[in-house]
Amino acid sequence: MYKASLEKYTLNFKRPSGTSRGVLTEKDSWFIRIWDKEDPKTVGIGEASIIKTLSPEWSADYENFITVIVENINDYVGDGLEKLRAYPSIYFAIETALIDLKNGGHQVLFRSPFTENRSSIRINGLIWMGEQDFMLNQIREKLNQGFDCIKMKIGAIDFEKELELLAFIRQHYSAEEIELRVDANGAFLPENAMEKLKELAKFDLHSIEQPLKQGQIQAMTHLCADTPLPIALDEELIGITDPKKKTALLNAIKPQYIILKPSLIGGFKGSDEWIEAAESLGIDWWITSALESNIGLNAIAQYTYTKENPLPQGLGTGQLYTNNIPSPLVIREGMLMLD
């Protein structure tokens, strides 16, 4: 028999962080701790991370709902975890806590050369939306930190200014020197998306994430078929839990890439299903964190390393927050590692 506890934790951004869905100043997470009644000193921990504008299970009743689940934790272990498929953040938290518990409660979920500080993960440097000077300073900072892959969020400021920023990067760094990814977070409209993709393609970009809002399957299918720039699906994957429907979606749209966020798509198991579906169709993928604290980020990073994907992954070190949980994760020369 298991017991569990719940702790809400509000993360505060160092500065307001802009996305095409608005500006974030704080973000809530809930930590779930699980232990066996017979061994209360060994505790596994997992994080239920919520982005209120994006997480499919979010509602005003979320906190009451997760409280009831934790109070009845034995109903949600083993096969019972499948009852939480529609609640990916909670699924991920319990899944993570149980793996941690099984491995002794030291937050080493997937032992590997990465957890033993003998290897690292190549990651992209993330540029947040904001005024032109702010974004330009971020770009310079990432380049100085040794990143050779930069991801820039677009869609919040004037598109022409965003093109100017990309032009600035390409004036100084070729595609061989710096790989550029952009993330539109669904900011384009079907009627102007192709025109914008053609403009963006002039800068030798690696890919663009989610140019259209999720759910516009026909429009996204046409865009992926004729795009001058590889398209990666991101938000499009959220809310789809049936493995057959995952394959059907990818087979219909045929994107060039998909992006996996365990907190938003049902943890490691949900991610494994998307990977299997993508690889069966010849679609590449990478893994991205989604504003988790260092508890969730640590778990995602360990999982990511085991997948042996050579592409730069979208993982950070929680440096966005003033009050993050202490972590041994560090970035050196564009590589994520445990120190």
The pLDDT score that the predictor gives to residue 193 is: 96
Tens of pLDDT, residue by residue over 294-334, are 999 999 999 999 999 999 999 977 788 999 999 989 989 99
Distance CA 136, CA 264 (A): 30
Regions of the chain with pLDDT less than 50: none
pTM over 0.85: yes
Answer for the pair 279, 252: CB distance below 8 angstroms, yes or no.
no
DSSP-derived pairing of the beta strands 207-209 and 125-127:
unpaired
> What CATH number should be reported for the domain whose range is 2-102?
3.30.390.10
Q: Closest by alpha carbon to 175, among 133, 131, 198, 207?
A: 207
Q: Which residues are part of the catalytic machinery? A: 153, 261
Residue of 205, 274, 273 whose CA lies nearest to 236: 274
Residue that is written with structure tokens 């957890």 in the block: 115
Asked if 93 and 292 touch (Cβ cutoff 8 Å), the reply is no
The per-residue pLDDT for 137 is 86
pLDDT, tens digit, for every residue of 20-66?
Answer: 566 788 999 999 999 999 999 999 999 999 998 889 999 999 999 99
- Rounded distance, CA 109 to CA 179, Å? 31
Domain ranges across the chain: 2-102, 121-338
Distances (CA, A) of 170 to 44, 175, 273, 279: 46, 7, 37, 32
Q: Within 13 Å of residue 101, how many CA atoms lie on the same side as its CB?
A: 24
In this prediction, residue 53 carries a pLDDT of 82
Q: What is the CA radius of gyration of the chain?
A: 20
Topology of domain 121-338, CATH: TIM Barrel (3.20.20)
Report the pLDDT value the prediction gives residue 19, as an integer from 0 to 100: 59
Q: Note whether 2-102 and 121-338 share their fold.
A: no
Q: How far are the Cα atoms of 138, 301, 306 from residue 337, in angstroms, in the given order?
A: 21, 9, 14
Look at residue 281 and give its three-state secondary structure: coil
